[in-house]
Amino acid sequence: MENIVALCKRRGFLFQSSEIYGGLNGFWDYGPLGVLLKRNVKDAWWNDMVMSHNELVIPGGAPGTYEMTGLDCTIIMHPQIWKCSGHYDLFHDFMVDCRETKKRYRYDHILGRWVLAASPATRVFVTTLETENTQSALEEAALKFFGLRKKDLDKLQWEGEIMSLPDVMRVASDTAKILAPDAKTPGTLTEPREFNLMFKTTLGALGTEEDTAFLRPETAQGIFANFKNVCDSTRLRVPFGIAQVGKSFRNEITPRNFTFRSREFEQMEIEFFCHPSQSAQWYAYWRDRRFAWYIKMGLAGERLQLREHGATELSHYSCGTADIEYQFPFLPPGEFGELEGIAHRGDFDLRSHMEGKLVKQGNELVLEKLPNGQPKHRGSGKDLTYYDDLTKERFTPHVIEPSAGADRATLAFLCEAYQVDTAPDEKGQPQERVYLKLHPRLAPIKAAVFPLVKKDGMPEIATEIYGELKQQFSVFYDDKSAVGRRYRRQDEIGTPFCITVDGQTVQDGTVTIRDRDTLEQERVHRNDLVQELTQRLG
């Protein structure tokens, strides 16, 4: 992972936000190449899900035809939206503070184990944040605490298995013996406290409590709030999907793992509205369709998995959820991180925005009420049901929600693409080569154009070719240093093709196209380059 992070910084994919002031935890800037890569991820998603969708044909695996459209909603919306959606009351994480180090941790992210040292005979619960090798991190913490050296490892007596902090803190009498990560004395952790993940902001100049608004923690609610507008302003018929790509904000307690858990990030969400009788089939369709998309874009292999949630894991509104997960290199072996969730949300969202905040009572969703019988959070009172004029049926559509993170997908594509092999240099000597095997649709630069040397008419032809290709593709011109080094620089940023103008070009107009992955070079006439690249880029 360190190599990938270093490459991202060195070649301008990702920078820490506000780096010159020491950075800001949980915020990341995309550099000159990163902005192209992430835009390509979002464009590929938008194009494959929305623009190229043919509503006249039943796609493979779908129960019927459907339509797709899009929205671009505001980040700040009416605060009542978050009260009815459940985010205001339920979108919490538990956190603990260390009184000694002043560090704050997500309660469920701390892992530890009871350990006893023969001399002095003290028993303590040493902790760490989850790492690739949790046990060795715990050993290090225990040795430090007991003032022992590495060779004294056998003086430590471990008790029981590695446990999470919530499991240990449930036993109240033991909390004084918990040693916080990085602390010197045990018993410095506070009780867990709830922490709402929504960022607050103030509207207008007065700044009273009534002027409080929130930065959206998901793009989904803008779609639900506009469901009626879309139905009234278009001729879309259920089933149809509304897609949105945009920023979301969550005041994550422990942002970490590069961009994986950020406080400002982008989502690519679809809310798919269908008849309740067909929702199970549509759920299966979207689950499989989204999984296949990641494979098509290059995340093949055992590092990608589809995981169906068990009944206890389901959200308060969901009758079925699956996660598409990727084995990021920063996770412990065998662990996967979520790329996208596909949720069957039933009629929870539309009903919430009609009636008010709902809660589950038995198998029913009912309006949550205050002791005085008034709704806890009032809905809009607007009719968000759908009338099917063919069947003459009025119903509240069910929603299937494929919700992806653009930053997590970009990070997964980067991690998967990072490759090291051996390739001969100009003198034929084998050299280690780092390259990004990005899908050509995702690669920031599609082709680089080089004159072999800076003389004999080659730069003039190369600049002409560059100008022609630039009309259609993201291309890069380079005439600095030896051609072998120029190839390496392009390999390292994932450029799939390098076009070189050489002595023969001056004679017959042909150039070489070098393939990043196979290193094969073919001669192509310069007049055929646009067609050749279009074909090769897919």
How many angstroms from the chain centroid is the CA of residue 471?
31
CA distances from 151 to 115, 148, 156, 159, 295 (A): 17, 8, 11, 20, 47
Interface mask (CB under 6 A) for ligand GAP, residues 302-341, using x and -?
------------------------------------xxxx
- Taking the complex as a whole, the smallest distance from the CB of residue 218 to ligand GAP amounts, in Å, to 4
Residue with tokens 């190839």: 487
- Taking the complex as a whole, the smallest distance from the CB of residue 65 to ligand GAP amounts, in Å, to 25
* Interatomic CA distance for residues 320 and 309, integer angstroms: 7
Interface mask (CB under 6 A) for ligand GAP, residues 234-273, using x and -?
----------------x-x--------xx--x-x-x----
* Interatomic CA distance for residues 338 and 315, integer angstroms: 15
Sequence-distant (≥ 6) Cβ neighbours of residue 235 within 8 angstroms: none
- Taking the complex as a whole, the smallest distance from the CB of residue 340 to ligand GAP amounts, in Å, to 5
Nearer to ligand GAP, 340 or 532 (CB): 340
Enumerate the β-bridge partners of residue 268. Answer: 245, 404
- Taking the complex as a whole, the smallest distance from the CB of residue 269 to ligand GAP amounts, in Å, to 6
Cβ-contact 388, 395 below 8 angstroms:
yes
Q: Which residue is nearest to ligand GAP (CB)?
A: 405
Closest CA to 451 of 473, 482, 472: 482
Closest CA to 513 of 468, 465, 467: 465
3-state DSSP assignment of residue 406: helix
* Interatomic CA distance for residues 315 and 346, integer angstroms: 11
Nearer to ligand GAP, 254 or 490 (CB): 254
- Eight-state DSSP code of residue 19: G
- Taking the complex as a whole, the smallest distance from the CB of residue 262 to ligand GAP amounts, in Å, to 4
Q: Which stretch binds ligand GAP (CB under 6 A): 226-234, 386-394, 399-407, 511-519?
A: 399-407
Report DSSP letters for 296-314, one per residue: HTT--STTEEEEEPPGGGS
Interface mask (CB under 6 A) for ligand GAP, residues 348-387, using x and -?
----------------------------------------
* Burial environment of residue 288 by CB neighbours within 10 A (0 to 12, 13 to 18, 19 or more): middle
Nearest-10 crossing angle of helices 32-46, 406-417: 110
| Assigned token pair, 21 | 């002031």
Nearer to ligand GAP, 335 or 393 (CB): 335
Residue with tokens 């007596």: 157
Q: Which stretch binds ligand GAP (CB under 6 A): 326-334, 396-404, 430-438, 484-492?
A: 396-404
Nearer to ligand GAP, 49 or 339 (CB): 339
Enumerate the β-bridge partners of residue 22. Answer: none
- Taking the complex as a whole, the smallest distance from the CB of residue 220 to ligand GAP amounts, in Å, to 4
Cβ-contact 377, 358 below 8 angstroms:
no
- Taking the complex as a whole, the smallest distance from the CB of residue 329 to ligand GAP amounts, in Å, to 17
- Taking the complex as a whole, the smallest distance from the CB of residue 248 to ligand GAP amounts, in Å, to 7
Nearer to ligand GAP, 1 or 453 (CB): 1
Nearer to ligand GAP, 81 or 529 (CB): 81
Nearer to ligand GAP, 187 or 337 (CB): 337
* 98 lines the binding site for ligand GAP (CB under 6 A): no
- Taking the complex as a whole, the smallest distance from the CB of residue 90 to ligand GAP amounts, in Å, to 12
What residues from 47 to 76 belong to the interface with ligand GAP (CB under 6 A)?
A: none
Interface mask (CB under 6 A) for ligand GAP, residues 202-221, using x and -?
----------------x-x-
CA distances from 3 to 318, 325, 371, 418, 492 (A): 39, 22, 57, 9, 12
What residues from 404 to 443 belong to the interface with ligand GAP (CB under 6 A)?
A: 404-405, 407-408
Nearer to ligand GAP, 401 or 502 (CB): 401
Widest Cα–Cα separation across the chain: 90
Residues binding ligand GAP: number (CB under 6 A): 19
| Chosen residue from 254, 352, 403, 500 binding ligand GAP by CB under 6 A | 403
Phi, psi for 447 (deg, rounded to 5): -155, 145
- Taking the complex as a whole, the smallest distance from the CB of residue 483 to ligand GAP amounts, in Å, to 40
Nearer to ligand GAP, 45 or 497 (CB): 45
Enumerate the β-bridge partners of residue 359. Answer: 366
Nearer to ligand GAP, 252 or 478 (CB): 252
Nearer to ligand GAP, 223 or 284 (CB): 223
- Taking the complex as a whole, the smallest distance from the CB of residue 394 to ligand GAP amounts, in Å, to 26
Residue with tokens 């055929």: 528
* Interatomic CA distance for residues 42 and 245, integer angstroms: 8
Nearer to ligand GAP, 294 or 476 (CB): 294
Chain residues binding ligand GAP by CB under 6 A are 218, 220, 250, 252, 261-262, 265, 267, 269, 338-341, 401, 403-405, 407-408
